Amino acid sequence: MNEQRQSFNLSAWALTHQSLVLYLIVILSVAGILAYTQLGQKEDPEFTFKAMVVRSFWPGASAAEVEQQVTDKLEEALQGIPEVDFTKSYSRSGEALITVMLKESIRGKEVNDVWYQVRKRINDAKGKMPPGVVGPFFNDEFGETYGSLYAFTRDGFSDAELKKYVENVRTELLRIPDINKATLIAPQDEKIYVEYRSAKLATLGITPLQINQVLAATNTVTPAGVVEGAEERVFLRVSGEFDAIAAIKATPITVNGKTFRVNDVADVYRASLNPAETRMYYQGQPAIGLGISMRKGGNVLKMGEQIDAVLHQAKQNLPVGIEIQAVSDQPAVVKSAVHIFMKSLLEAVVIVLAVSFLALGFRMGIVVALSIPLVLALTFLCMKIFNLELQRISLGALVIALGLLVDDAIIAVEMMALKLEQGWDRFSAATFAYSSTAFPMLTGTLITAAGFLPVGLAKSNAGEYTFSIFAVVGIALIMSWIVAVLFTPYMGYHLLPENLKEHPHDAHGGKFYTAFRRWVTWCITWRKTTIALTLGAFVLSVILFAIAVPKQFFPASSRPELMVDLWLPYTASFNATEQEVKKIEAILMQDPDVASVTSYVGVGSPRYYMPLDEQMPNLNFGQLTVMTKDEHVRENVYKRVKQLFDTDFPNVRGRVTRLENGPPVGYPVQFRVIGADQRELKKIANDVAHLMRQNPNLRQVHTDWGEQVKVLRLDVNQDKLRAAGLTSQQLAQSLQMAVSGVTATALREDNLQIEVISRLAPDERTRLDYLANLPIPLPSGSSVPLSQLAKIKLESEESIIWHRNRVPALTVRADVIGKAQAPDVSNALWPKMQEIQAKLPVGYHIEAGGTVEASKISQDSIAAVMPLMLIVVMTLLMIQLQSIQRMIMVLLTAPLGMIGVTIALLLFQAPFGFVATLGVIALSGMIMRNSVILMDQIEQDIHHGSAPWDAVIDSAVRRFRPIMLTALAAILAMIPLTRDTFWGPMAIAIMGGLFVATILTLLFLPALYAAWFKLKPAQSV
């Protein structure tokens, strides 16, 4: 014992510097509490969207022309950028949109450099664009999340008046330091319309072009000169710019010696854009949204308080009739989520304390109990230092870590108590654990942490999303070892009595230990049978896991919102889409389980929730955010909405989804058909869709290529056109001016410019039968009907053309029904898809997309790191065991967890997803930690003179309590997580796997050791 005092020992150092240790305990606890109060809080972890949207416009061009002349040239420019994973694009009438997706291995800091290269190449390609192309425009903030989203509704006010009030509130909100952006959603821009009748203009001899020219020439700002005096300068200003509608109406037009005013020949009025392009409703009332995003590293709760203060003041200043409604209140969501997880954490603490007190007794339990808040305080302090925030992943990781961080403290306290029972003094007993188990404990701790290494190093979107599991658990485990060897001996020294020598009998001689000793003896005696049974159970579990356990990528979110999508035919007008949206909105507002309904027409909801699958603007698209009253009634509303689409909306392709967790995927089951010829693609896609419709687990099977759209093609008689003094370009401009309207000038009002648009009156421009008689102005001042210059034919063309990596790609998509999991459905269909692919012409192939593709990318990123994890674990084992044979034996216990994982998942009918995968990998580290402890005990007993046969049996019996106790603490601490949708499958997998593997470790490892070294009873060393 004196030798124990004299050799260097960290625990001994702590006991010889008790004042300093007490000071460190107090100061670090206070620092941890302060760090916790300053940790950033979010709903989801920071996540870099590695996507850029490049959008171009070519008014008047068909989808095929846009594809060939715009999209293809831009995609060609992007080829060869090594960081680009793939490009996907669509071409439709007048518009090209390319989404550039980077490789998931690209880290956030590198993304901006790649976007610079993309911009550079696209700008270099501008010279190849045909005349008339507008853009390209770049959006590399596609992943901006407007977590705080508000709807401003109006009653008795115009859209323009409402917009001014919203902009005033926005200005005030932007003064808050933590706000990054405050963006208006679906604002209704004002226009001034000059609408004329063709017959009246023809009678007066006025052409629409003349009206536009006069308006533009009058409303101009042109320098009139500066008078340079001897001592000062005086600028000359010429009036004429429009400052009101009255000025536009009174603008004179002189034609053939006659002067008219604009309001003599046209109706002039001010209104919102008509027809509208986007519109937002809240509870059926017209609204303008205000989306607020937080700057990186901001405090969401503090920002929320400041937003509430600004909005409270704004509500007092707003007139009656304008109200502010919260669509998404991220600070409230985060506060609630953190509260729920902290409650789970507290429950886990209580469970671990109960295990400690019941298994160790009151005094020893107190020592373990005091170590928990200390480890948590140190963990919070390190999280603050490394900028780790409290969010869904890190909070779940804390609960996982809680069951593991008491392991070292339990081992240290139990060892101290054992030595006190043997008559040692408190100093020697408190420091013995360090000399005997500190480094095996450190090895076990590092091995457990290494089990989470694939999470930390996985180069994928899912890996980035779940990174804080590795960071938080790793920090907590390291801190737990430091507390166990530095602070726990100090607390045990003062709290455990020195006279614990109350049990002169063998501590492991009770009935239970006698029975367990017989079990271990039987296992090593019948070692081949034990190994064979274990191996058989493992093989059976792997087979059952493959065929019976449902697979998924990420589970659905537990948030109460539902997203309802409505797609009309591509030719549908904005008004037609709006009517369908209003129809389903009215039904949902009457649902007793629905709290509120926010509707969007022509555009989808802004990204108010990070994993939201944001939709691009489309006139034939509508989306509703349905806020149900809670997660439980959400499922009832979900079923009712699906029923509505099946029975009441024949002209709509409707979809209702829960919010996702993890990186957004979109439709869960997707198969892409890729090839050059569009007709062949459609033929193959029909075969793919037919197979998918035969699967009973799929619904709403469709393709992302819309139906063909109707177009009126004008076959121009060029001879007659030239005889009339016109060109095809001038004819197209006349038609555009008459039917859709053109911007003649702009009214400058305060800091706004309101476009002045001239066009035909509504009853003329909206009638197809009037088109043939539409008068086309001639340079001579007269006009001729359109039918004299061109033949009008009704044709059809592609509404939209999709590309992937510059090649036409047609995706067949579907949702799953009921409890079916998308990866299972996709994997079941894939062999049949391969049969179709085998018959395809050269250059055509089928790819699996959706969740099975995203899951594979994530699994591959994990697999790529597994060799490194294995090397780290093997190195740690070799440092500790100094034996290749013993290292291999420990490694062979790692897969045993699969037996319990399969049993638990099947028993609770829990799906196996990406998060559960991470748990199973980490489980191997927990199992090997227990194996190291048992193996080290065997080697110590043999070193101290025990026969190997007896050493194996005695070690298994002696290490039963600490191994089972630490495993039980880890298992029971995860009970609160089983209620959580996101963490539930992972918690169930770890609980089942660790329970079974711990028992097998105490039985299988002794049998394996005896078989490996061919041990016999009473064999000498």
Domains of the chain: 1-22+361-497 (1.20.1640.10), 51-139 (3.30.70.1430), 207-226+233-264+709-798 (3.30.2090.10), 511-548+883-1020 (1.20.1640.10), 558-659 (3.30.70.1430)
Residue 204: the pLDDT is 77
- CB of 63 within 8 A of CB of 798? yes
Instruction: Name the residue among 664, 843, 672 with its Cα closest to residue 143.
Output: 664
Q: Which of 624, 625, 620 is nearest to 577 (CA)?
A: 620
Tell the burial category of 672 from Cβ atoms under 10 Å away from its Cβ (0-12, 13-18, 19+): buried
Q: How far apart, in whole angstroms, are the C-alpha atoms of residue 51 and residue 104?
A: 10
CB of 910 closer than 8 Å to CB of 988? yes
User: What is the DSSP code string of 858-892?
Assistant: HHHHHHHHHHHHHHHHHHHHHHHH--HHHHHHHHH
Give 561's strand partners: 627
Give yes or no for a contact between 489 and 483, defined as CB atoms under 8 angstroms apart: no
Burial of 521 (0-12, 13-18, 19+ CB in 10 A): middle
Report pLDDT for 221. 52
Distance, first Cα to last Cα, the chain:
27
Coil vs helix vs strand at 738: helix
In the prediction, which pLDDT does 1018 show?
Answer: 63
How far apart are alpha carbons 639 and 623 in whole angstroms? 17
Q: What is the mean pLDDT of each run of 10 residues along the chain (1021 residues)?
A: 56 91 95 90 81 91 91 93 93 92 85 92 90 89 87 91 92 92 90 83 78 74 63 64 70 80 85 87 94 85 91 92 91 82 83 83 86 93 91 86 83 83 84 83 88 86 86 93 92 81 53 87 93 95 91 83 92 91 95 95 90 86 94 90 89 90 86 93 94 93 87 83 82 79 76 81 75 78 80 86 94 90 92 93 92 88 90 92 91 93 92 87 89 87 86 88 86 87 89 93 93 78 39
Q: DSSP string of 23-40?
A: HHHHHHHHHHHHHHHHS-
Alpha carbons 1007 and 417: distance in angstroms, whole number: 30
pLDDT at 225: 67
Between CA 637 and CA 663 the distance in angstroms is: 25
CA angle 807, 855, 634 (to 5 degrees): 105
User: Is-contact 45 915, C-beta < 8 A?
Assistant: no
In 526-620, alpha helices (H): 527-548, 574-589
**Nearest-angstrom CA–CA distance, 381 and 390:** 12
CB within 8 Å of 511: residues ≥ 6 apart: none
Q: Are strands 807-816 and 669-674 parallel, antiparallel or unpaired?
A: antiparallel
The SS3 call for residue 903 is helix
* Cβ atoms of 662 and 916 closer than 8 Å: no
Would you state the pLDDT for residue 229? 66
Q: How far is CA 998 from CA 145, 539, 896, 934, in A?
A: 44, 18, 9, 11
Question: 212: closest CA among 251, 239, 258, 243?
Answer: 251
